[in-house]
Amino acid sequence: MSRPYDSIDAEQLQQDADEYLLSYGTSYHREIITSTDGIYVETHTGHRMMDFTSGQMSCLIGHGNPEVVQVIYEHAQHLDHLFSGMISPPVINLAKRLTSVTPDGLDKAFFLSTGGESNEAAIRLAKFYTGKFEIVGLAASWHGMTGVSLGAQYHAGRAGYGPLMPGNLVLPSPNAYRSIFRHADGTYDWKTELDYGFDLLDKQSCGSLAAVILEPILSSGGMLELPPGYLKAMKEHCVKRGMLLIIDEAQTGLGRAGDMFAFTHHAEDKSVVPDILTLSKTLGNGLPLSAVVTSNSIAQHAKENGFLFYTTHINDPLPAAVGAKVLEIVIRDDLVSRSQQLGVKLQAGLRKLQSRYGCIGDVRGRGLMAGVEIVADRKTKVGAPEVGNAVARKMTEMGLWAQLATIESFGGVFRIAPPLTVTEQQLDKALAIMEEALRTTPGTQPLYSSEDNYRGTPCYDTK
């Protein structure tokens, strides 16, 4: 069966890209991507790579999933887009299905296109409900590129564009690997760090604290996990100040991190339910679909007082139908448990590599969502982005795509997030490629003995 771009003039397309495409802040992959299927992306030269970032951390159940393709086909024919004041069965079905798996207190939803848009709506809703305007984010956060969501984002994108939305304040990110807040025994003292952060907030605030927005795992910030008990302590701080808690599960939602929703993971945080939950990326499996979910009480206040967030593509039927199908597959095929189980295997494999290569300073994450931090020295923890880039290039050549975050403040962290449909064999192959890339790249600091010379002792077989 032929595919749309089996035959292309790659040189001409590259010239056209240079001439006609506006840069948006990233360098393009050196080859043009012409096909995706399952866990693979393929370039114009026929080079196939296992996609261990699930596109932009989105294709939760793989590229071209046949059931999703069928839903798109049917709705493109018969129920694609409507006037924003109309509702359709797919939208109602997705709202019902989604709120049936969220904890009590997350009762009503509407649907937008991107994660930035859903965070924009969530923050706007929090301001409307509280009557206040100050929004607090974490220092390594990423929430989107629209005005209000960008104002609450501190990882990147703030400099060079003039004033941001007024009333944005920041808390230190809970980075167990790098934080200077330590107990006497050297372990991470996140509670003192959080209390100290709020003490500074109280001094800066003009008395209009509306909400905190945070991710359960700060992906763009370096795959930083919130410590056990952190959300409970955060919620207590919010309640004390009359603030709402917004949780952004763009990347962690629907099983990616081994739980249906990552904020429910730790026993210490079981009682915590956000006032507003946002979803995107994984919900649409790569199609532009996001959600804002909140409580009956907040929803009622919004309805009675005329809350406005009216967009061209709000509650569109086609993406909503895809979201309902994605959620159906996740539940039907028990992909949350699969993510949890394969995540144990993934973490064990990455830690085995850490035991063999000194450039791996830290391994973190949960489920099929992992971070590998590349450093030049484990004692000083100084980053080694040049080594990480070289390893990444080697992995790409060998058929594995995993993104390296090279912003200097994080030293260079591989973000690893394959589809939940990845097989154990594919996971083994990916780990084997990672090991071979580490073994053959200068500067990775092998820890095995020179006498061994690696004969017959790899962690994984690349065949």
pLDDT, tens digit (0-9, with 9 covering 90-100), for 361-409: 999 999 999 999 999 999 999 999 899 999 999 999 999 999 776 555 5
Q: Which of 51, 120, 189, 248 is catalytic?
A: 248
Residue written as token pair 């919010």: 238
What's the helix, strand, coil split of the chain in %, to 5? 40, 15, 45
Query: Using CA atoms, how far apart are residues 163 and 221, in angstroms rounded to an integer?
Result: 23
Q: Which of 51, 120, 142, 436 is catalytic?
A: 142
Query: Using CA atoms, how far apart are residues 244 and 274, in angstroms rounded to an integer?
Result: 8
The closest of 172, 203, 202, 170 to 190, measured between CA atoms, is 172
What is the structure's pLDDT at 407?
A: 56
Q: Which of 153, 251, 340, 426 is catalytic?
A: 251
Catalytic annotation present for 401: no
What is the structure's pLDDT at 399?
A: 97
Cβ count within 10 A of residue 322: 26
Q: Which of 120, 193, 215, 249 is catalytic?
A: 215
Long-range contacts formed by 190-196: CB under 8 A, 24+ apart? 190/227, 190/230, 191/229, 191/233, 194/230, 194/233, 194/234, 194/237, 196/172
What is the structure's pLDDT at 237?
A: 98
Catalytic annotation present for 403: no
What is the structure's pLDDT at 78?
A: 97
What tens digit of pLDDT does each residue of 303-340 get? Answer: 999 999 999 999 999 999 999 999 999 999 999 999 99
The closest of 252, 277, 273 to 336, measured between CA atoms, is 252
Query: Using CA atoms, how far apart are residues 293 and 118, in angstroms rounded to an integer?
Result: 10
What is the structure's pLDDT at 458?
A: 55
Tokens at 447, concatenated:
């820890």
Which domains, ranges and CATH numbers included, belong to the chain? 10-60+335-440 (3.90.1150.10), 67-332 (3.40.640.10)
Catalytic annotation present for 215: yes
DSSP-assigned letter for residue 221: T
User: Could you give the C-alpha distances from 90 to 110, 112, 308, 314, 321, in angstroms and in order?
Assistant: 12, 14, 22, 13, 5
Catalytic annotation present for 415: yes
> Counting Cβ atoms within 10 Å, is residue 267 exposed (0-12), middle (13-18) or buried (19+)?
exposed
Helices 385-397 and 424-440, packing angle to 10 deg: 130
> What spatial distance separates the first Cα and last Cα of the chain, rounded to whole Å?
28
Catalytic annotation present for 31: no
- Confirm whether pTM is higher than 0.75: yes
Q: Which of 127, 241, 281, 429 is catalytic?
A: 281
Cβ count within 10 A of residue 204: 11
Catalytic annotation present for 190: no
| pLDDT mean values, one per 10 residues, the chain (463 residues) | 80 91 83 94 95 96 98 98 97 98 98 97 98 97 93 88 92 96 98 98 97 96 95 98 98 97 96 97 97 98 97 97 98 98 98 97 97 95 92 96 67 91 97 97 88 50 52
- Region of 157 (left: φ > 0; alpha: ψ -120 to 50; beta: rest) is left
Identity of residue 291? A
What is the structure's pLDDT at 158?
A: 87
Q: Which of 366, 415, 429, 439 is catalytic?
A: 415
Whether 268 and 86 have beta carbons less than 8 Å apart is answered as no
**Per-residue buried b or exposed e for 169-202, using 16+ beta carbons within 10 Å of the residue's own CB:** bbbbbbbebbbebeeeeeebbbeebbeebbeebe
Q: Which residues contact 411 (CB under 8 A, 6 or more apart)?
A: 361, 373, 374, 375, 381, 382, 383, 384, 385, 388
